[in-house]
Amino acid sequence: TWNEVPAAPLDPILGVNQKFQADTSAEKVNVSIGAYRTDEGKPMVLSCVKKAEALLLEQSDLNKEYLPQRGDATYVQLCQKMLFGEKSKLLASGVVATAQTLSGTGALRLGAEFMKKFAKGKTVYISNPTWGTHNSIMTQAGVPFSHYRYWNAAGRDLDLAGMLEDIEAAPEGSVIMLHAAAHNPTGVDPTAEQWGEIMTVCKAKKHVCWFDSAYQGFATGDLDIDATAMRAFADEGLPLFVSQSFAKNFGLYGERVGTFSITCDTPEAVKAVMSQLDIIIRNLYSNPPKHGANIVKTVLSDPALYQEWRDELKAMSLRIQDMRTALYDELTSLGTPGSWTHITSQIGMFSFTGLSPEQCTQMVEKHHVYMLNNGRVSMAGVTSKNVKYIAKAIDDVVRN
């Protein structure tokens, strides 16, 4: 039985991670998956998370009962504030529908399932390039998608004109997927002025803007600054979907903590939308897990832990910035042909190096430096110990 089932290719990101695990070379380096590492190359559990877990264990009324399909109400409220801000007009008028989700991927899939039922025939426009799973989630869910131009390879910057043209050309009322901050994989975000132009086109075309917020705090080190673009769209009254992940900014990768939000016109519409999300969730996985949401809820509602989290987030993003400078300096001192200033000017967790697919293959096969085939290096995996080795490998593949 099942002899006719063909073997599937490995996932373009998780598959590289698997190959890294299987490599027996002592020199191997993993800069594939977007997961933070300490300068010793180790995964890190934030101190605020450990403290929150200790507090949770002390709670006498802690139980393992089911959450409702839409998740923990207090957690959801705290997440809404983190996304839309303390002074949000939308939150004050009760017009945001939000459900707890299985991190960002679960939020995206929930949104896709909602679209399938209530936005039939609408196409999602996704940046080119993007986090590959944006595309495959739509494929798996059966939601039509297309791309808008984003990356200008020649200037290693944003192709704003191309982006605006494609968003303008999309049929009225389309869904435009936007990276809220720290674009994955390019590390290039629109400036405030460019966001303004994007907003004007989206508003004129009555598009729904779907902000994917997987890196809040990683672009600038500040949670509020990283939400500025999305909040501006919200204040301007554009209809929004928002997917939120706590994988990177809380280091809660495996706990699967996130939310999915839909902005509505009235509180009545919120009620109806929530009731539909409940049905979708019930039939996908019944209800979300509690532990990670309890951690986030504890930290966000305790002023001291909240401050500690913000400090730890800043420290993570500063270490990444230091590694950008270190990698740039190593390449410059090796005299590696080409310009490498984009390594320090790009933001967030990734560097979109500009290496060709062949060069990326060489990085993996010859040098055991596991990066993505599209040229993306996770700067969060670069350390003061491996940066020289990575630079030498880049130098070699560029020269040969």
Task: Catalog residues that contact ligand LMR under the rule CB under 6 A.
Answer: 13, 33-34, 131, 133, 184
Choice between 136 and 345, CB closer to ligand LMR: 136
Q: Is 248 a catalytic residue?
A: yes
Q: How far is the CB of 17 from ligand LMR (least distance, A)?
A: 9
Choice between 131 and 211, CB closer to ligand LMR: 131
Choice between 245 and 263, CB closer to ligand LMR: 245
Q: How far is the CB of 400 from ligand LMR (least distance, A)?
A: 27
Catalytic member of 131, 151, 210, 340: 131
Q: How far is the CB of 104 from ligand LMR (least distance, A)?
A: 7
Choice between 123 and 243, CB closer to ligand LMR: 243
Per-residue HEC secondary structure of the chain comes to CCCCCCCCCCCCCHHHHHHHHHCCCCCCEECCCCCCECCCCCECCCHHHHHHHHHHHHCCCCCCCCCCCCCCHHHHHHHHHHHHCCCCHHHHCCCEEEEEECHHHHHHHHHHHHHHHHCCCCCEEEEECCCHHHHHHHHHHCCCEEEEECEECCCCEECHHHHHHHHHHCCCCCEEEEECCCCCCCCCCCCHHHHHHHHHHHHHCCCEEEEEECCCCCCCCCCCHHHHHHHHHHHCCCCEEEEEECCCCCCCHHHCCEEEEEECCCHHHHHHHHHHHHHHHHHHCCCCCCHHHHHHHHHHCCHHHHHHHHHHHHHHHHHHHHHHHHHHHHHHHHCCCCCCHHHHHCCCCEEECCCCHHHHHHHHHCCCEECCCCCEEEHHHCCCCCHHHHHHHHHHHHHC
Q: Are 268 and 220 in contact (CB under 8 A)?
A: no
Q: How far is the CB of 301 from ligand LMR (least distance, A)?
A: 27
Choice between 184 and 336, CB closer to ligand LMR: 184
Catalytic member of 212, 226, 309, 340: 212
Catalytic member of 28, 51, 122, 248: 248
Position of minimal CB gap to ligand LMR: 34
Q: Is 212 a catalytic residue?
A: yes
Q: How far is the CB of 131 from ligand LMR (least distance, A)?
A: 5
Q: How far is the CB of 128 from ligand LMR (least distance, A)?
A: 16
Choice between 82 and 372, CB closer to ligand LMR: 372
Q: Report residue 240 as tokens.
A: 């929004």
The residues carrying an active-site annotation are 131, 212, 248
